[in-house]
Copies of this chain bind each other. A is one copy, B any other.
Amino acid sequence: MLKTESVLIIGAGLCGSLLALRLAQRGYQVTLVEKREDMRTVALSAGRSINLALSNRGLKGIKRVGLEHKIEAYCIPMLGRMLHDKEGHTQLSKYSGRDGEYINSISRSGLNKILLDELDTFKNVDLKFNHSCVHVDLKQAHASFKTADSNSEYTIEADVIFGTDGAGSVVRQQMEKERGFLFSHSQNFLTHGYKELTFPPSAESEYAAEKGALHIWPRGENMLIALPNQDKSFTVTLFLAYEGGLNNFNSLTTAESVEDYFKTDYPDALALMPNLGTEFFENPTAPLGTVRCDPWTYGKALLMGDASHAIVPFYGQGMNASFEDVVEFDDILEESNFDLKTAFKVFSESRKPNADAIADLALDNFHEMKSHTAQDLFLEKRKLELALEKEFPKEYFSKYSLVTFSEEVSYKEAMDKGRAQDKAILGLLKHHKLNGDQSLRDQLTLIQKVSQQVLEGELLFEV
């Protein structure tokens, strides 16, 4: 069924590109405008390319547009967290007790290129790069742009506009400015920033560390992580406070102080970083923010992806959430019999609680990753959960599995159920109510019972 509506999508990042592709497949006239240059025409230094964790919800989006086979070659499976202590000892904590459940390290630009190449094959898609949006008329669905090499503006008139222009969305800013509707919005920064660094390939041109894991150096307040790249390097990210503590981004001002800090806190990582002294000062320090707003639609415009729900990266769900947006919107569009206005309203209302949930989960996970992963009670809980998942693969799902591998469960449900389960297990372990004398089945039954009571907000007085 060919659609007559013209659709303007502002922002050709991962979310905008996937959305454009799906709407092109649906038969809409799609104009996709991006302010940056075409990433396929500029060479990016491989070591600097940001990699992302692609998991089930993101894959659902890739499958929706039929590109699952094209991306396979770009995915590097990571089976679990490889924890590094200060003495360089490592310990693998698997993501799931079920076989075949893992996350994938994938290059952001590599994935984006696959989507853009596919878009090029559609006659009903007009792709524009280097065009910055300077104004949006939300009620008329008109938007003005200018190119980098010209000061003149031109206007695109469409039937609807999608704002997929990221955390600093111009479309969202226009919603903030509109009067006459109650637009709630927030932008919250952590006191930590991040900086990307590199493990280059080893002297033998191999991965310098175990390839099949997401490496973590949890150090209480701060942490280092590393994800493998296709070129056998790792992208390493330091999450560090801007101020306070023994070391912070403001205090690390010399190559010596940086090396001293790494020597003390990350000695085994330092051994793999010949360029630390230069990279640390050449690469930018970026802030970590959460953006929320409500509603996501006004006039003839809808926000999607980071533009409506930018989250911190600690659950590896940013891209996955944006891709799931596209799938959910596509479903709602079909259910609405392709009435775009209705679909905008339904999507804004039904998706928002899930976006809020993954934003909260991502913030929680920052604390878990930098500190709890290394604590005894947490390790005991993970060990038990993996055993339960292995023994009862269709009955037990940890919070991590619910969020990451259970794409049929909404983020909100995953959060509510997962949090209750965590609280129940930690409480039961602490009170020594789970132990080796019980069968795994009895332990599962007890956990399920107490989780349900916690979920219902009940005060527990007996087990």
Chain B residues, CB < 8 A from A185: 186-187
User: Nearest Cβ distance between residue A6 and chain B, in whole angstroms?
Assistant: 30
Complex-state Cα separation, A189 to B295, whole angstroms: 11
A423:B459 contact, CB within 8 angstroms: yes
Residues of B within 8 A of A182 (CB): 189, 191, 242, 287, 289
Residue on B nearest A185 in the bound complex, by CB: B187
- A43 at interface by CB-CB < 8 Å: no
- B residues less than 8 Å from A189 (CB atoms): 182-184
Instruction: Identify the closest chain B residue to A186 (Cβ).
Output: B186
Query: By the criterion CB–CB under 8 Å, are A461 and B431 in contact?
Result: yes
| A residues contacting the other copy or chain, number (CB 8 A) | 29
Kindly state whether residue A424 has any CB partner on chain B within 8 Å. yes
Residues of B within 8 A of A274 (CB): none
Asked if A72 CB lies within 8 Å of chain B CBs, one says: no
CB distance from A289 to the nearest CB of B (A): 8
Q: When the two chains form the complex, which single residue of B188, B423, B427 contacts A184, counting CB atoms closer than 8 Å?
A: B188
In the bound complex, CA of A428 to CA of B185 (Å): 38
CA gap between A460 and B433 in the complex, in Å: 12
| A 236-249 binary contact with B (CB < 8 Å = 1; else 0) | 00000010000000
Query: Closest residue to A427 on the B side, CB-wise?
Result: B459
Are A424 and B459 touching (Cβ within 8 A)? yes
Pick from B183, B287, B428, B462: contact of A462, CB below 8 A: B462
Query: Contact check: which of B188, B430, B459 meets A460 at CB < 8 Å?
Result: B459
A461 touches B462 (CB 8 A): yes
Q: Assess whether A42 is interfacial by the CB under 8 Å rule.
A: no
Q: Is A304 an interface residue (CB 8 A)?
A: no
Is A463 at the interface (CB under 8 A from chain B)? yes
A contacts with B: majority SS:
mixed
Known: A184-B188, A186-B188, A188-B186. A461 touches B459 (CB 8 A): no
CA distance A242 to B181 in the complex (A): 11
A184 touches B184 (CB 8 A): no
Judge whether A454 is part of the interface by a CB distance below 8 angstroms: yes
Interface residues of A in 281-331 (CB under 8 A from B): 287, 289, 292, 294
A458 at the interface (CB under 8 A from B): yes
- Which residues of A (30-78) have their CB < 8 Å from a CB of B? none
Task: Decide if A450 is an interface residue (CB 8 Å cutoff).
Answer: yes
The A427-463 residues at the B interface (CB cut-off 8 A) are 427-428, 430-431, 433, 450, 454, 458-463
A450 pairs with B460, CB closer than 8 A: no
Specify the chain B residue showing the minimal Cβ separation from A458: B427
Contacts of A187 in B (CB 8 A): 184-186
A423: chain B residues at CB < 8 Å are: 459
| CB pair A459 B428 closer than 8 Å | yes
> In A178-198, which residues have CB < 8 Å from any B CB?
182-189, 191
Nearest CB in chain B: distance from A382 CB, A? 19
List of B residues within 8 angstroms of A463 by Cβ = 461
CA distance in complex: A183, B191 (Å): 11
In the complex, which residue of chain B has the Cβ closest to the Cβ of A193? B182
Given A185-B186, A427-B461: 6 more A-B contacts, CB < 8 Å? A182-B242, A183-B189, A184-B186, A185-B187, A424-B459, A460-B460
Name 18 A/B residue pairs within 8 A (Cβ), A-sorted. Answer: A182-B289, A183-B189, A184-B188, A185-B186, A185-B187, A186-B186, A186-B188, A188-B294, A424-B459, A427-B459, A427-B461, A428-B459, A450-B459, A460-B460, A460-B461, A461-B462, A461-B463, A462-B462
